[in-house]
Structure 1
Amino acid sequence: MSTENEGTEVPPAPSAPPVPVDSPAASPQPSSAPQGGATTPPPPSTPPRVPGTPPQGPAAGPQSGEAAAGAAAPSGAAAGPAPHGSTASPVDGSWPPPAPPAMPASGGGWGAGYQQPAPARPSGRRGGLIAAVIVAALFAGGLGGGIGYTLAKNDDTGSTTVSVSDNGASQVKRDPNSIAGVAARALPSTVTIEAQGSNGRGGTGTGFVFDTQGHIITNNHVVADAVDGGRLTATFPDGKKYAAEVVGHAQGYDVAVIKLKDAPSSQLKPLPLGDSDKVAVGDQTIAIGAPFGLSNTVTTGIISAKNRPVASSDGSGESRASYMSALQTDASINPGNSGGPLLDARGAVIGINSAIQSANNGGFGSSGQSGSIGLGFAIPINQAKYVAQQLIKTGQPVYAKIGASVSLEESSSGAQITDQGVDGSDAVEPGGPADKAGLEPGDVITKLDDTVIDSGPTLIGEIWTHKPGDKVKITYKRDGVEHTTEVTLGSRVGDSD
């Protein structure tokens, strides 16, 4: 789900701690938030091959791309592995918890920066005709690739219109419940967000209309650079662009709300929100975003897993991380998709695309433009909706807490309450929820309600799916003996305390 500041990104990955596994209680994954492509992807090292022609030689164009950096995740960008080591983190929502170290992802590219070798000349007039057709096809393919590369390079700052005869294709009637029907309804309510900080750093991400007052939901890491004195714009698919401002942002949840300036209500059609608790593995998904700056891109897939523990860093170097119990999807998500809607088959929003798995570093991160490998992660909309409402109401996020610090060390046995809290404070807050429930330093929490807890970040992400005041059942081990207790979650306001 790669957090990239530039725009376009956490369960466990098989090769790095924590890595996505088949169990819902997998260790949290460091992830890369799929934000926007702040850098232009380079052309491929090997040119595309036309069927029936011999393999081509290496590309002649540039070979390397600069990694896109992001402020928090799915933006969408690559972040480091989930926090591990002997660091303690307040499960009560105390801030800032340690972030996973950023791990650069190698850049990828596409385009037509290469030369096609001349095909062998067949004998005879018929052979000559075939050769001419092949040459024409190769030329057309190279031209098309060149146009695509130019559009990506321009990062959607301009547009290209090509007039062709559709021979009545546009008159075809499509089922409103088909993917084409859902996309036609949802696209007018999505926006491509361009964020730029006062230092010039920024990138491209995605957002969608939340209400008719001009509020847009997106990822925190998409807009983080523009929070203090930066510049924000949101562009609709019809080309209309509006200036925007940040209403509120939540680093821990990786959710932000911006508000459009001077946007007429006729332009604002909120997307319907679904119920992420009722989503099932195998349900169809539709993702909309601006991967690598290619706005209004629609991809499809299914729900691959639920409740994936994900921990992602924004790649900014700050000691902050985002934790989520994510929806996993194989819909293609790339840098630039961050903040965009993940829809169900009816067109209702079930999640916010936030992070992606990076294949080359075994983890999640936000400092590179890794591409989709079919492992994307979205913040469940039930959680995102609650956070957005709090941000609109007060401008500050509200986190649920149990009032105890746990180890962020990689583990499979549970979340252990540390002997000492952050900065020498008490590991169990005196008079806090955990203290009232009888929890003590050294206890190892193994379950929260029916969810298996295998590490500290997993516990944090699961707690943050709840609201302050919720009652949860905690299963823990003390001296090898299993116990259960009920905890009434407390609250903490803001990202720093």
Structure 2
Amino acid sequence: MTPLPPTPSGTPGDQRPEQDHLVHAGQAPAYAAAGSGGAPHGQGSGPEGAGAWPPPPPPATPSYADGGSGGTTGVWGAAYQQPEPKPRSGRGGLVAGILVAALVAGGLGGGLGYTLAKNNENGSSTTVSASDSGGSVKRDPGTVAGVAAKALPSTVTIEAASSSGEGGTGTGFVFDTQGHIVTNNHVVASAVDGGKLTATFPSGKRYDAEVVGHAQGYDVAVLKLKNAPNDLKPLTLGNSDKVAVGDSTIAIGAPFGLSNTVTTGIISAKNRPVASSDGSGSNAASYMSALQTDASINPGNSGGPLLDAQGNVIGINSAIQSSSNGGLGGTSQSGSIGLGFAIPINQAKYVAQELIKTGKPVYAKIGASVSLEEGTGGAQITRQGASGTDPVESGGPAAKAGLKPGDVITKLDDRVIDSGPTLIGEIWTHQPGDKVTVTYERDGKTHTVELTLASRTGDS
């Protein structure tokens, strides 16, 4: 799977398909990810036992195949050429008779058509006109139009550019009345070090913004508007834990740079493990236990709100599934295929509040490095930690619970763990200090222990 990239500036859209991988719906180019289908090959240990892997090479930059001006290849209005007259034969009379009959029939048909049309003008019309249409219709709060009308004024299109001018377009939404905007980390990553950020509301009002804090592992960032207006209306945050498969969803974003776009769908699945790399070669990765939706989400939607039928935010749109050969004109570029992924708002709310408070993310951890290899039947604790460190942190939660290198974690509470990235995503849905039950296998036997999650501050 591939995280959702934002739409790069100056291009119709930026999507980074990587075989059957996830593509970020937002801004940062060259994202790649491993979803529920399994982690990438190779092994390693993530930040504080999270797990990381060398990201794949950046996919090719997409391009449009428009077939030329107007997108057409045919020719209209070719001149008609009169055929050469043929020699008369003994059947000439028959041919002439057929032609006369055809002309008479044609004239008769035309006459009937004209007469019927004339009579219809004089008769009563069966056309029914609506008494109200367009803006004069009152739309109830529970309708899609009602939800969109209320939520759109609190969403923004984010343009981020690095100091060299490279960047793209993503989405965000108003988090509080102080001017904080929540979005994806990968939407603003290019502007973190000396870049430029702007946020534009549907009304056309545009504000400069700055990054308050960003969490690469969670893929969440918080901006603050400069000279923020005093009439901001934060979107209401829902409860993503209570979302059910089949619930209606509404997504708002700027797919391919088309700001203020509204799409609808349902919750297709919950707790989908999604892991993504930024492709920078830094081995940095993002993990989430995502809400899956079939609402149309495309590059540029990243950071935008995923709403329920009442207009409450239940997630932050972050990634889409994209096939390697899909796209326009056979190119590598492709759009929504009905598999979008959002960060649950309960997790994103906690992260955003920490970023506003301290400027740094806080991660829950068990204090063990896990393998990212496929086929381990769970999350296997590695024999060696990252950079020569111990695979089980001395004095950490895993060590206190008696976990050892080679143990395979198969469940966290009631969640089945099928890989290292799945374990990391599930751990990060919790907060430091939470008690969790870990089920693991050792020498063919199953064991269960309870441990208290520790914390790590920052992405380094």
Give me the TM-score of the superposition, normalised by structure 2: 0.81
User: In the alignment, which of 167, 177, 186 is matched to residue 142 of structure 2?
Assistant: 177
Q: Deviations over 1:171-225 (max 9, x none)?
A: 1111221000000000000000000001222100000000000000000000000
What SS class does the counterpart of residue 73 from structure 1 fall into?
Answer: strand
* C-alpha distance in 2 between matches for 1:340 and 1:492: 27
Report if the CA contact (8 A) 2:41-2:374 is conserved. yes
What SS class does the counterpart of residue 85 from structure 1 fall into?
Answer: coil
CA separation of 1:97 and 1:361: change in aligned 2, threshold 3 A: farther
Cα distance, 1:115 vs. partner? 5.0
* C-alpha distance in 1 between matches for 2:406 and 2:10: 47
Cα distance, 1:38 vs. partner? 3.5
Percent of aligned pairs with the same amino acid: 71
The answer on 1:218 being equivalent to 2:183 is yes
Q: Which runs of 5+ in 1 are unaligned?
A: 1-29, 42-64, 128-165, 363-367
For 2:31, the aligned partner's letter is A
User: In the alignment, which of 334, 358, 364 is matched to residue 298 of structure 2?
Assistant: 334
Q: Deviations over 1:394-432 (max 9, x none)?
A: 000000000000001123610000111001110000110
CA separation of 1:168 and 1:405: change in aligned 2, threshold 3 A: closer
2:24: which partner in 1?
Answer: 73
The answer on 1:188 being equivalent to 2:143 is no
User: In the alignment, which of 209, 212, 218 is matched to residue 247 of structure 1?
Assistant: 212
For 1:217, the aligned partner's letter is V
2:244: which partner in 1?
Answer: 280
Structure 2 matches for 1:292-303, cutoff 5 A? 292-303=256-267
Q: Deviations over 1:99-138 (max 9, x none)?
A: 54255265456693335532689998999xxxxxxxxxxx
1:442: which partner in 2?
Answer: 406
1:482: which partner in 2?
Answer: 446
* C-alpha distance in 2 between matches for 1:275 and 1:295: 26
**Range moving further from structure 2, 73-82 or 205-214:** 73-82
Structure 2 matches for 1:89-128, cutoff 5 A? 89-90=45-46, 92=48, 97-102=52-57, 104=59, 106-108=62-64, 112-115=70-73, 117-118=75-76
For 1:32, the aligned partner's letter is P
User: In the alignment, which of 272, 275, 279 is matched to residue 315 of structure 1?
Assistant: 279
What SS class does the counterpart of residue 403 from structure 1 fall into?
Answer: coil
Cα distance, 1:87 vs. partner? 1.6
1:306: which partner in 2?
Answer: 270
Give me the TM-score of the superposition, normalised by structure 1: 0.75
Number of residue pairs aligned between Structure 1 and Structure 2? 398
1:373: which partner in 2?
Answer: 337
**Range moving further from structure 2, 75-84 or 222-231:** 75-84
* C-alpha distance in 2 between matches for 1:66 and 1:378: 18
Q: Deviations over 1:208-255 (max 9, x none)?
A: 000000000000000000000000000000000000000000000000
* C-alpha distance in 1 between matches for 2:452 and 2:195: 40
1:17: which partner in 2?
Answer: none
Query: Larger C-alpha radius of gyration, 1 or 2?
Result: 2
For 2:265, the aligned partner's letter is G
* C-alpha distance in 2 between matches for 1:481 and 1:39: 58
* C-alpha distance in 2 between matches for 1:99 and 1:450: 30
1:157: which partner in 2?
Answer: none
2:222: which partner in 1?
Answer: 257
CA separation of 1:260 and 1:332: change in aligned 2, threshold 3 A: same
* C-alpha distance in 2 between matches for 1:360 and 1:119: 39
* C-alpha distance in 2 between matches for 1:238 and 1:380: 28
**Range moving further from structure 2, 432-441 or 76-85:** 76-85
* C-alpha distance in 1 between matches for 2:349 and 2:315: 10
For 1:40, the aligned partner's letter is T
Q: Which runs of 5+ in 2 are unaligned?
A: 18-22, 81-102, 111-130, 327-331
For 2:377, the aligned partner's letter is S
User: In the alignment, which of 328, 336, 349 is matched to residue 313 of structure 2?
Assistant: 349
What SS class does the counterpart of residue 495 from structure 1 fall into?
Answer: coil
Structure 2 matches for 1:146-161, cutoff 5 A? none
